[in-house]
Amino acid sequence: MQQRAESTAVRAVHDAAEKIRQNVGQVIVGADDTVTLVLVALLANGHVLLEDVPGTGKTMLARAFARSIGGTFRRIQFTPDLMPTDVVGLNFYSQRTGEFEFRPGPIHANVVLADEINRATPRTQSSLLEAMEERTSTIDGESRALPRPFVVLATQNPVELEGTFPLPEAQLDRFLLRLKVGYPTPEREADIVRRFEHGSPLEDLAPVVRAEELANLAAGLTDVHVEDAVVAYMVALVQATREHGAFELGASPRATLALFRASRALAAIEGRDYVRPDDVKALVHAVLAHRLQLSSNSRLRGRDADEVLDEILSAVPVPLADPA
């Protein structure tokens, strides 16, 4: 009986994920892996750092997800003069009522696009920390719960470095995944042109899953089984980043938990009630790379975190047996 209930919960996640993937696919062309990984973040109660050049569809992706789940969407354009109250909201004195009233900031939405987050000052960047971790915002000592589901999709341009404030390690560690959208192939780009020839298909995108339903489905991820050997594999990968000479700072225990949560979400999206080592391998770069700090010697040699993670994946033994 327990096994049947687990299968039902996972099947519901899989069915909802397929609806969302197909719906978002009407707008976002040739980025199936990116769409799936954003779904992983939504189900695992995580956040996503989208890192790529302008014009690759990051804003469109966030809007398409918000419409697909019938959720609220807010966009915050981060600039050097943006204040924390512009993000979380403020209490203002109303002359009409003679009392202080709360005016919610754009953080109070299901899908929040933090555009060019590294252009804001560290003080404003840090105003997101509580919201991302605790799912609350505190103004004048009073905490207010944020809607569920709640996901921050933050963008930063890796090319434009002038006038930016690099995200500190504590902020980067709050992002479950870091993704790169990338340029489409010529065939995909031609498909994009034709699809947007007579207007944006986003305008006609209808919800396929209710936001409340998605939040409830996320609770079903606890039914996805993770073998002890697979957990040990996750731990070994994270431990290897702390011991590798190329890194000055390895991944934290929060990274291990992130890899665990994301792996369960990916397994459920694919319709399985157990995690495979391949799920873990597919997520290692997205979950770990942005949490690692290369040594100065590695940077001088032109190495990057993804390259070293490939070495670790090749060196750490993979569990052979999958549960039937």
Bridge pairing between strands 177-179 and 48-51: parallel
State the DSSP H helix or E strand holding residue 92, giving kind and residue range, or none if neither: strand 89-94
pTM across the whole model? 0.88
pLDDT of residue 3: 41
pLDDT of residue 114: 92
Q: How many residues does the chain have?
A: 324
Q: Domain residue spans in the chain?
A: 2-80+109-222, 224-324
Which long-range contacts does 157-166 make (Cβ < 8 Å, 24+ apart)? 157/51, 157/52, 157/53, 157/54, 157/116, 157/118, 158/51, 158/52, 158/53, 159/53, 163/80, 163/119, 164/118, 164/119, 165/118, 165/119, 165/120, 165/121, 165/122, 165/125, 166/118
Superfamily of the domain at 224-324: Magnesium chelatase subunit I, C-Terminal domain (1.10.8.80)
Superfamily of the domain at 2-80+109-222: P-loop containing nucleotide triphosphate hydrolases (3.40.50.300)
Measured CA to CA, the distance from residue 142 to residue 135 in angstroms comes to 14
pLDDT of residue 110: 94
DSSP, collapsed to helix, strand or coil, labels residue 44 as coil
pLDDT of residue 160: 52
pLDDT of residue 189: 80
Measured CA to CA, the distance from residue 123 to residue 133 in angstroms comes to 17
Ordered per-residue pLDDT tens for the chain, 324 residues = 334 444 688 999 999 999 999 999 888 887 889 999 999 999 999 999 988 767 667 888 999 999 999 999 999 999 889 998 899 988 887 778 878 888 889 999 999 999 988 888 888 888 888 888 888 888 877 888 899 999 999 988 665 555 677 787 878 888 999 998 777 778 878 887 887 777 778 888 899 999 989 888 888 888 899 999 999 999 999 999 999 988 988 899 999 999 999 999 999 999 999 999 999 999 999 999 999 988 888 888 888 899 999 999 999 999 875 544
pLDDT of residue 158: 62
